[in-house]
Structure 1
């Protein structure tokens, strides 16, 4: 099993996600980390999970604000052996390329863009995001049974990449475990996909 820890980063602090209600997120309090400092949290989570991959949700960018580029650079420098899956509210491949171009080439090579259905703005963008040789991931986002999907991504399984994240925002931070019903529904529509939930 490959465990990929997740950090939600808001205004330079790691916050505790609660059911996708971002306005209520507060700095994390954890016995494992003892801090909301992203460097400490990232280091401890990666050590604890014995992983070489970290998922970072830039909540500033996801809410339409500038990405936390300095923190992204800091985390990549502080964790030189860790690959980063980055969800920064990318509307399409040009937005991801623009952000990655602002990193050092060696650092940018360790970042995998995550395109969330809540952020993609067109079906054309969906196709462009996963045109070869893309290594990006698609996050199928929904809350309380309703897709977060302005572009209609959920209705286009033929255009989904092989690796899919199934993100049930209303379950995040609820201590309710994975959303097995939605994972099963996505599996039925994409039987060959690698599901991450």
Structure 2
């Protein structure tokens, strides 16, 4: 199971995400590092996990604000061996392209995460994945509510080669992974790289998620709270 560390950026700081309730997020307190400065936290998580991938959620952009292009550019420049998976609330391919122009050459190491909660229509989804073959689709839900104006959950023909199963109410909640949802996506996309998000408490949860079909998992809180030690 591949562990992909996550940082949630809000107003230039790393915050702790809890249940997808973004208005309540506060600067991270971590057993791994002091402070909430993005580069310090990112380096610590990458070193701790041995990952060369960092998932970034730009909460300013996700909540309708201006993308944190300067913070993102600084992280990319300081972490030249790292690939970034970026969720910036992209509504369509042009929204990511506009940000990419601000990132310069380092933007080549950014894979856009197009979230079902953000894509505006089926055509926007088709265009996004046609324009960016390395893009990732995040299938978002909160409890029984599917967050999906573009119809991505129901139309698997829209799905690219990499998928995230995002259960927002389990993020930072230590409620365990949603194995049923994960397995249902795996049955519909047997060849995809399937990445889970939300709920991981310990290594046993990662093992259970792998058995249900996950190839990787996005993790933040369990790392900061020393619940996943040691990692290989």
> TM-score, structure 1 length as denominator?
0.96
Q: CA deviation at 1:53?
A: 0.4
Matches within 5 A, 1:1-197: 1-105=1-105, 107-131=106-130, 134-197=133-196
Deviation at 1:133, TM superposition (A): 5.8
1:65-97 Cα distance to aligned partner (Å, 9 max, x none): 000111001111111111100000000111101
- Counterpart-to-counterpart distance in 2, 1:159 and 1:18: 29
Aligned partners of 2:93 and 2:131 also within 8 Å: no
Instruction: Provide the aligned length of Structure 1 versus Structure 2.
Output: 196
Which of structures 1 and 2 has the larger relative contact order (alpha carbons within 8 angstroms, sep 6+)? 2
SS of 1:55 mapped into structure 2: strand
Query: Cα distance, 1:23 vs. partner?
Result: 0.6
Q: Supply the distance in 2 between the matched residues of 1:53 and 1:18 (Cα, whole angstroms).
A: 22
| Partners of 2:147 and 2:36 in 1: CA distance | 28
Normalised by the length of structure 2, the TM-score is: 0.82
Q: Which runs of 4+ in 1 moved over 2 A?
A: none
Cα distance in 2 between the residues matched to 1:104 and 1:161? 25
Deviation at 1:177, TM superposition (A): 2.5
Q: Secondary structure of the equivalent of 1:14?
A: strand
- How far, CA to CA, are the matches of 2:3 and 2:60 in structure 1? 25
Task: State the Cα distance separating 1:134 from its structure 2 match.
Answer: 1.3
How far apart are residue 132 of structure 1 and its match?
Answer: 6.3
**Which residue in 1 is equivalent to 2:202?**
none
Alignment RMSD: 1.1
Structure 2 CA distance, aligned partners of 1:177 and 1:38?
27
Q: Tell me the distance in 2 between the aligned counterparts of 1:88 and 1:12.
A: 14
User: How far off is 1:192 after superposition?
Assistant: 2.0
> Aligned partners of 1:81 and 1:133: how far apart in 2?
21
